[in-house]
Structure 1
Amino acid sequence: MEYLEQLFSRYHDFFIGVATFVVAVILGLVVKLILFKLLRLYNRHDNPVLVKSLTAHLSKPIALFLPLLFVSITLATAENEEEVLRPLRRLIEIMNILTFAWILIELTNVARDMVRHKYAIDKPDNYRERKLFTQLQFLRKLTIILIVFVAVSLVLLSFEPVRKLGTGLLTSAGVAGIVIGFAAQRSIANLLAGLQLAFTQPIRLDDVLVVEGEFGRVEEITMTYVVLRIWDNRRLILPLNYFIDKPFQNWTRTSSDILATVYLYTDYSLPIDAVRQEFDRILANTPLWDKNVKVLQVTDSKEKTLELRALMSANSSAVAWDLRCLVREKLIHFIQQNYPESLPKTRSEFVGNKLPAIAELS
């Protein structure tokens, strides 16, 4: 017992410090549990989406930040020698900065969840939502970069040698800026292209594009490149400045509705009015047609066939593809069943003496 008393008296400050540290950590965790318990109670009455998003994104960083905050407050009031606590205070200060930056980054995710809940992008006419989400995604990534930059800068500036070095670097910032500008001109060009894309918006999230002969949707827009999901689930990766420097097709620039066309090649004997009536009947019996445009015309008369073009409208490019396939299949079936003699054929005529009978040739 006397040995324990001597040990405690010798390391009195150390034991008090450890006990204070443990109490601060426990207090921080208790405050975190109470805070999220209150959020769950609030969730029963109003705005469950906000509470669910806050709980999902902020539970881990808050669980780390609050104990660190109480520990830093405890260390600030500690009476121990400065030399003993200086490394620990420096460590807690750095962890507080990084944890707070983590919380700010997660708050951007909460804001994204709330916008996605309010504006649904999965509806047919989603022009406004795609415009908003494209700007939001770019601004969120730019905000995260700024948060990380500021957090790392604060951590480095907490060290005296780095602070002195930064003061010296300010005198040569002009030369360094020129050197960095030449070395990273492609990256800077991509960043400027990203800003231009975010606010002028030649493309948006979920836009339907035809790029490099490939048809697909814009799946992701990052700070440096665009991911295009091709119709067969391949991904085409393109740098941002591609969409500034080169032409491409955007099928959903102002709206998602589109015209679909089907070409048929038939014999001259086909009755056009009958095919036109069948075309009208097909469109009337399918929900794929949006009831805006329907035209069937003879657009060309070639040497051996007529060219018929069926033109109809649809709400989106995906629906237009299905409508195009349906109309083509139904019209071909109609001609096969009712006018098989009007399918494309090659005519030939013999001029001159009549050919001898087959019996005579044998």
Structure 2
Amino acid sequence: MSLSQHFTGILFAFSNALSWLPGSVVSVVMLVIVGLAAYYFGQGTISLLLKIPGTRSVAMLRNVVHALRRPSRIIVTLLALLAALPAATGLSFETEQTLQLGFLFALILVVGTSVIISLRLMTEAYLARLAKRDYADDIMVRAHQTQIKVLRRLGEILIGIITVASALMLFPSVKQYGVSLFASAGAASLVVGLSARGLLTNLIAGVQIAITQPIRMEDLVIINDDWCWVEEITATYVVLRVWDWRRYIVPISYFLENRFENWTHNSEAITGLVVMWLDFDAPMEEIREALREIVRACPLWDGKIFDVQVSDFDHSAMKIRITASARNAMQSWDLRCDIREKAIARIREEFPQALPRTRMSLVKAGERMVPAPAQETDDDILSPPIKRPPPGSYTGPPDRSGGASSF
């Protein structure tokens, strides 16, 4: 005799013992007792499993049991009620069929929910174990996080759709309605298809992003000239955290249809650029050495890339391009600010002639401009020379008596 047959025999014996009551009352009482017994049996079993000590694998089992404690009790109760329904002979056939459909409907929904919870629990455990590992660069960690989280959300949506569809297919009226709806080629089907186009586009884009990974979790991207970090990737949209704690909510298909900058796609290291304008009289070799000393003294410089070049010039000054690398984008920003501040102070103190100046010459209209004569001293620059008479040539004012005076 199988276990189910033995269980049914016990229930029939219970019904015979209460034969003096109406059959419907006996069936209801029997189902209530079976449901309560199964519920508390499941609760006791879960409590015992949670008390089992052991290694990491046992700890993982305890976490799964703890997360599924409520769905497990409901599943055990529904299975026991379904097994007890054949012994509920006091109920009419229609009532028994209705109860069976209701129990199966609830069982399918609870099982689908349990699968979703289990999927989420396993992925979180994997990501937590991955995050504890020590990597020189967390590109691989963020790649796994992106794949797991996006595929998990898509899996949850797929499991939810299958669960609800399976539960609804138990009812003949809903089943026939669904068949007729999908079989028709009228305007309703066209409207539904057009309405779901955006959702389907984002779902497919989510799969593509999980596979190709143009963006990953905590990637630094540039959107609308703002620095943004990828904070969350869902099945249909992406949450971007701006440096000033604003949030952009962007459809996930945006990253497959538009251009954007990803500063951490291959590595977090980045080269920063500082631009300065100096006068043509700037001693470039001395300034280059001073800038090298400034960058070497900066703790944010990673020691890889440094260069100083004259990249351009115009009629008034020349453009100096300073490049220095850092470990990540935020350190690169702080490094560039530090270089600007210290470079300006150093040039102002040691090389004041290198600061940009505006040169201007005033000439009369129609007069050809002639270069100014070379000046000998700083006093000449501040006070141009004046034509003076040679020594001894001054004879003084004319003598009213007719004579002349001289020095």
TM-score calculated relative to the size of structure 1: 0.83
Aligned residue in 1 for 2:272: 260
Query: In the alignment, is residue 108 of structure 1 matched against residue 119 of structure 2?
Result: yes
User: Structure 2: 5+ residue runs without aligned partners?
Assistant: 1-17, 365-382, 387-407
Range 28-37 or range 160-169, more displaced = 160-169
Residues 1:29 and 2:43 are matched in the alignment: yes
Q: Which moved more, 1:235-244 or 1:179-188?
A: 179-188
Q: 1:68 aligns with which of 67, 71, 78?
A: 78
Once the two structures are superposed, what CA deviation does each residue of 1:174-225 show, in whole Å capped at 9, x if it has no partner?
A: 9976554344333333333223222222222222211232221222222222
Q: How many angstroms apart in 1 are the aligned matches of 2:87 and 2:185?
A: 40
Could you say if the C-alpha distance between residues 342 and 170 of structure 1 is closer, same or farther in structure 2, counting changes exceeding 3 Å? Answer: closer
Give the equivalent residue in structure 2 for 1:58: 68
With over 3 angstroms needed to count, the CA separation of the structure-2 counterparts of 1:332 and 1:28, relative to structure 1, is: same
Deviation at 1:80, TM superposition (A): 4.2
- Match in the other structure for 2:105: 94
Query: Match of 1:295, as an amino acid?
Result: D
Corresponding residue for residue 238 of structure 2? 226
Counterparts of 1:52 and 1:273, CA distance in 2 = 68
User: How many aligned positions are there?
Assistant: 348
The answer for the alignment partner of 2:172 in structure 1 is 160
Find the aligned partners of 1:59 and 1:284 in 2 and give their Cα distance. Answer: 59
Q: Note the residue ranges of structure 1 that are not aligned, 5 or more in a row.
A: 1-5, 358-362
Q: 2:305 aligns with which of 287, 293, 302?
A: 293
CA distance 1:21–1:246, change in 2 (3 Å): closer
What SS is found at the alignment partner of 1:279? helix
Residue 3 of structure 1 corresponds to none
Cα shift readout 1:288-309 (whole Å, capped 9, x = no counterpart): 2221111112222333323222
Match of 1:276 in 2: 288
Letter in 2 for 1:100: V
- Residue 104 of structure 1: CA displacement? 0.7
What CA distance in whole angstroms lies between the structure 2 residues aligned with 1:49 and 1:326? 50
Distance 2:291 2:206 in 1: 46
Residue correspondence of structure 1 range 195-214 to structure 2 within 5 A: 195-214=207-226
Letter in 1 for 2:354: S
* Aligned partner of residue 263 in structure 1, secondary structure: strand
- Larger CA deviation: 169-178 vs 135-144: 169-178
> Aligned to 1:148, which of 160, 163, 183?
160
Instruction: Summarize the Cα distance change of 1:280–1:99 in structure 2 as closer, same or farther, 3 Å threshold.
Output: same
CA shift digits 1:43-89 (9 cap, x unpaired): xx225873575356333433433333334334455554354544433
- Corresponding letter in the other structure for 1:73: A
Please give the alpha-carbon distance, in whole angstroms, between the structure 1 residues aligned to 2:354 and 2:61. 67
Which of 23, 29, 35 does residue 15 from structure 1 map onto? 29
What CA distance in whole angstroms lies between the structure 2 residues aligned with 1:222 and 1:69?
Answer: 35
Q: Given that residues 275 and 320 in structure 2 are in contact (C-alpha distance below 8 angstroms), is that contact kept between their aligned partners in structure 1?
A: yes
Please say if residues 28 and 69 of structure 1, whose CA atoms lie closer than 8 Å, have aligned partners that are also in contact. no
**What letter corresponds to residue 157 of structure 2 in structure 1?**
I
Q: Which deviates more, 316-325 or 117-126?
A: 117-126
1:245/1:9 Cα in 2 relative to 1: closer, same or farther (>3 Å)? closer
Contact 1:294 1:312 in 2 (8 A): yes
| SS of aligned partner of 1:281 | helix
Deviates more, 1:85-94 or 1:325-334: 85-94
More helix by share: 1
Overall identity of the aligned pairs, in %: 31
For the residue of structure 2 that corresponds to 1:15, the secondary structure is: helix
**Distance in 1 (alpha carbons) for counterparts of 2:69 and 2:349:** 67
**Compared CA separation, residues 124 and 78, structure 1 to 2 (3 A):** farther
Which structure is larger by alpha-carbon Rg, 1 or 2?
A: 2
Q: Which AA in structure 2 matches 1:133?
A: Q
Per-residue CA shift, 1:20-50, capped at 9, x if unaligned?
A: 2221211121122122223xx13xx225873
Deviations 1:98-137 (A, max 9, x none): 1111111111211221221232299662222222222222
Cα pair 2:27 2:88 within 8 Å, conserved: no
Q: 1:8 to 1:325 in 2, by over 3 A?
A: farther
Give 3-state SS (helix, strand or coil) of 1:226's partner: strand
Amino acid at match of 2:129: K
Contact 1:258 1:320 in 2 (8 A): yes
Alignment-derived partner of residue 193 in structure 2: 181
User: Which protein, 1 or 2, shows the higher relative CO under an 8 Å CA cutoff with sep ≥ 6?
Assistant: 1
Q: 1:199 to 1:12 in 2, by over 3 A?
A: closer
